[in-house]
Amino acid sequence: MDILQESLNGVSIVAPAGRIDSTTSIELERAVGGALATGRQLVVDFERVTYISSAGLRVLLMTAKRLGGGKGSLVLCAMNDVVRQVFDLAGFLPLFSIEETRELAAAKAAGA
């Protein structure tokens, strides 16, 4: 899986591409783990993600739990309709801070 990682004003951005499923979620898990090793403000950018299955939801849930309790922040952004529908079916929309763009997401993560 192609995953771009960068830092925007001190916020780690993880931007995977393609499908986040049971064959690729381990790579997202590693990328997120790597990003959290250097900072506690994280954005996962879904702009290039086509769809996500529960294997990917698991990684995001674990990350949100890890950052819970004010120890950091996780903001998601740029979800397509398919990803949003899966989040909705899973009841995940209320659990996450979700923004339209990476810039808005980074600003939100930095301010949290």
Partner 1 sequence: MSVPPPLSIRVPGTVAGIGEAAAAFDAFRAAAAIADEGAWPVQVVLDEVLANIVHHAYAGRGDGRIDLTFSVSPTAITVVVADDGPEMNPLALPEPDTTAPLEDRRVGGLGIHLVRRLMDRAEYSRRDGRNCLVLVRRFGAGAPTDPSKA
Rg of the chain on CA atoms, in Å: 12
Distance CA 12, CA 97 (A): 15
**Adjacent-strand bridge partners of 75:** 43, 97
Shortest separation between residue 84's beta carbon and partner 1, angstroms: 12
Among 1, 8, 17, 61, binds partner 1 (CB under 8 A): 61
Shortest separation between residue 39's beta carbon and partner 1, angstroms: 21
Contacts of 92 (CB under 8 A, 6+ apart): 57, 60, 61, 86
The footprint of partner 1 on residues 10-29 (CB under 8 A) is 19, 21-23
Among 1, 8, 17, 95, binds partner 1 (CB under 8 A): 95
| Angle at the Cα of 84 from the Cα atoms of 89 and 1, rounded to 5 degrees | 110
Q: Does 58 sit near partner 1 (CB under 8 A)? A: yes
Which positions touch partner 1 (CB under 8 A)? 19, 21-23, 50-55, 57-58, 61, 64-65, 68, 82, 86, 89-91, 95
